[in-house]
Structure 1
Amino acid sequence: MRIGLLGTGPWAQLAHAPALDGHAEVDFVGVWGRRADAAKELAGRHGIRAYDDVNALFAEVDAVAVALPPAVQAELAVRAARAGCHLLLDKPLATTVEQGRAVAEAAREAGVASVVFFTTRFQPETEEWIAEQAAAGGWFTAHAQWLGAVFSGGDSPFANSPWRREKGALWDVGPHALSVLLPVLGEVRRVAAAAHGPGDTAHLVLEHAGGASSTLTLSLTAPPAAAGAGVELRGETGVTRLPASAQGAVSAFARATDALLAAVRTGRPHPCDAAFGLRVTEILAEADALLSTAG
């Protein structure tokens, strides 16, 4: 499968490009970016072509991987799908329901496969744990916390990201928490409560259709010594916690690429497709509205 990359920022450099370059089953052919000089630099590093015209890239590949801010991703994903390109997208799919719905509808109407890269979901330990807990059932409640030090640690490559500065932890790490909770606890019936914490910290309470509840604590402004992520489930079988993973982002993105290849070959949607990305966007938008009301 011939694949192109949209985006040249830190995430494209650290995860997307190395994973695509080293993947045995894809032909990494080119990159397009909003800054032509950055595209040329990244292309030179991987021995591929830098495209000045994104439509020219769409015309010469079977699929695109996207490492761009959500609003930019949504617009280009719609155009790529309509050009017949399969989609390997990043989380969040979009930051408005309208944008997310446009991507999901474009992928469905064009008949292209889609996978949204929720990093944690594509780590093998997480995948196995989710399958086991979903099969066990009987969960009473869960707590997820994703605490980053992006805005407090001083050395994060994402600290100057405009969209993260604007949208905060809810939209940046909230998708990770939801990607783990939803396949275990089931659909979110409603966001029951949302409150602000220090900095960009957000606290959410979710009601799930199966009767369980979950709480989420999300932040990009935690002290570096307090940073970390975890999920704890409590139910009829006791208490279980999400295991740590030894896999990094490059390995996880390679697995996401495998997932897209499988979806293309089989025609079966992946659980983390654009439709799932849209559902995550809807939940986050509901939480965002409550947080706005909270002041």
Structure 2
Amino acid sequence: MRIGLLGTGPWAEIAYGPALRDHPEVEFAGVWGRRPEAAAAIADTFGGRPYEDVDALIKDTEGIAIALPPAIQAPLAERAALAGRHLLLDKPLALNVTDARAVVDAAARTGISSVVFFTTRFTDGRRQWIGEQARHGGWFTGRADWLGALDSGDNPFANSPWRREKGGLWDVGPHALSVLLPVLGDVERVLAAAHGPGDTVHLILRHTSGASSTATLSLTAPGVAAGHGAEFRGDSGVATMPAGDDDPVTCLGRAIDALVESARTGRAHNCDVRFGLRVVEILAEAEGLLEGPTP
């Protein structure tokens, strides 16, 4: 599959560039970015060529990968889908339901394949564990805690404007939901959403299985307290998510595998844009419940 990359920031350098360059079933066509000099640098490092016109890159490809802020990703993803290009996207799909639904509608109209890169769902060990817990069923409750520390150490995303504005709910919230939903079922209702310190948000969710779950999400945790995990309790006892040691390039390689397979077979992946939309809908519902200023 001939794939072009939209985006030239840290995530393009850390994950998308090397994953596209090294994947055996992908030809890395080139890169477009809002800064032409950065696109030239990415192309020089990972191959392909820099494009000054995004539509020219879309025209030259079979698939488009996007490593851009979600507010920019969504309209470009819709544009690429309407041109019949398969999509490899990042989470969250968009920052509002309208934009996310437009991507889903465009993908449905042209029948393209899509994968949204929820990292945990493509981490070896963890993805198998999630599948096992989903098969067990009988869960009474679950929790997912995703605590980041943007200001700790040399974080490559420390200067990300959208993360600063939207906080942990929108940045790490998709990771938590990507674990809770396949095991406990869709969220029937966000029962509560409350602010914690900094940008921290606490959620209580009711799932279609009858189970409830909680999620604690933050980008402003102390560096020594940062980390993430998930746990389920029910008829099978207590299940704790194992550690995931895969690097982002390896995980993204599996997402590319999934996109290529979906395009080849016509079978939708369970992390496609429809799942991405559902995550956005839940986050938007939670955001609407948050009241008052952050403490």
For the superposition of Structure 1 and Structure 2, which TM-score range results when normalised by the shorter chain?
Answer: over 0.9
- Residue 75 of structure 1 contacts residue 99 of structure 1 at CA under 8 Å; is this kept in 2? yes
Distance (Å, rounded) in 1 between the aligned partners of 2:250 and 2:153:
26
Structure 1 counterpart of 2:171: 172
Distance (Å, rounded) in 1 between the aligned partners of 2:190 and 2:39:
40
Letter in 2 for 1:10: P
Distance (Å, rounded) in 1 between the aligned partners of 2:293 and 2:13:
37
Is the counterpart of residue 104 in structure 1 residue 104 in structure 2?
A: yes
1:36-185 maps to which residues of 2 (within 5 A)? 36-150=36-150, 152-185=151-184
Distance (Å, rounded) in 2 between the aligned partners of 1:126 and 1:141:
19
CA deviation profile, 1:166-212 (whole Å, cap 9, x unmatched): 10000000000000110000010000000001100000000001110
Q: For this pair of structures, how many residues does the alignment match? A: 294
Letter in 1 for 2:86: H
Distance (Å, rounded) in 1 between the aligned partners of 2:247 and 2:281:
28
Structure 2 counterpart of 1:278: 277
Distance (Å, rounded) in 1 between the aligned partners of 2:248 and 2:240:
21
Q: What's the offset of the Cα at 1:144?
A: 0.6
TM superposition outliers: structure 1 runs of 4+ over 6 Å: none
Q: What TM-score comes out, normalization by structure 1 length?
A: 0.98
Distance (Å, rounded) in 2 between the aligned partners of 1:292 and 1:105:
32
Q: Equivalent residue of 1:256, what SS?
A: helix
Distance (Å, rounded) in 2 between the aligned partners of 1:164 and 1:200:
10
Q: Equivalent residue of 1:16, what SS?
A: helix
CA deviation profile, 1:104-135 (whole Å, cap 9, x unmatched): 11011011000000011101211110111011
Distance (Å, rounded) in 1 between the aligned partners of 2:206 and 2:69:
29
Q: Equivalent residue of 2:12, what SS?
A: helix
Report which stretch shifted further, 90-99 or 117-126. Answer: 117-126
1:258-273 maps to which residues of 2 (within 5 A)? 258-273=257-272
Distance (Å, rounded) in 2 between the aligned partners of 1:293 and 1:121:
34
Distance (Å, rounded) in 2 between the aligned partners of 1:42 and 1:100:
28
- Residue 205 of structure 1 contacts residue 216 of structure 1 at CA under 8 Å; is this kept in 2? yes
Structure 2 counterpart of 1:5: 5
Is the counterpart of residue 203 in structure 1 residue 190 in structure 2?
A: no
Distance (Å, rounded) in 2 between the aligned partners of 1:95 and 1:82:
20
CA deviation profile, 1:75-118 (whole Å, cap 9, x unmatched): 00010011111000000000100000000110110110000000
Letter in 2 for 1:159: A
Letter in 1 for 2:135: A
Q: What TM-score comes out, normalization by structure 2 length?
A: 0.98
- Residue 194 of structure 2 contacts residue 291 of structure 2 at CA under 8 Å; is this kept in 1? no
Q: Equivalent residue of 1:221, what SS?
A: coil
Letter in 2 for 1:18: P
Distance (Å, rounded) in 2 between the aligned partners of 1:136 and 1:8:
42
Distance (Å, rounded) in 2 between the aligned partners of 1:138 and 1:198:
34
- Residue 195 of structure 1 contacts residue 294 of structure 1 at CA under 8 Å; is this kept in 2? no
Distance (Å, rounded) in 2 between the aligned partners of 1:291 and 1:253:
33
- Residue 149 of structure 2 contacts residue 222 of structure 2 at CA under 8 Å; is this kept in 1? yes
Distance (Å, rounded) in 1 between the aligned partners of 2:26 and 2:154:
33
Is the counterpart of residue 14 in structure 1 residue 11 in structure 2?
A: no
CA deviation profile, 1:128-148 (whole Å, cap 9, x unmatched): 101110110000001110001
Q: Equivalent residue of 2:30, what SS?
A: strand
Q: What's the offset of the Cα at 1:294?
A: 7.3
Distance (Å, rounded) in 1 between the aligned partners of 2:100 and 2:48:
30
- Residue 8 of structure 1 contacts residue 33 of structure 1 at CA under 8 Å; is this kept in 2? yes
Distance (Å, rounded) in 2 between the aligned partners of 1:104 and 1:124:
28
Percent identity for Structure 1 against Structure 2: 64
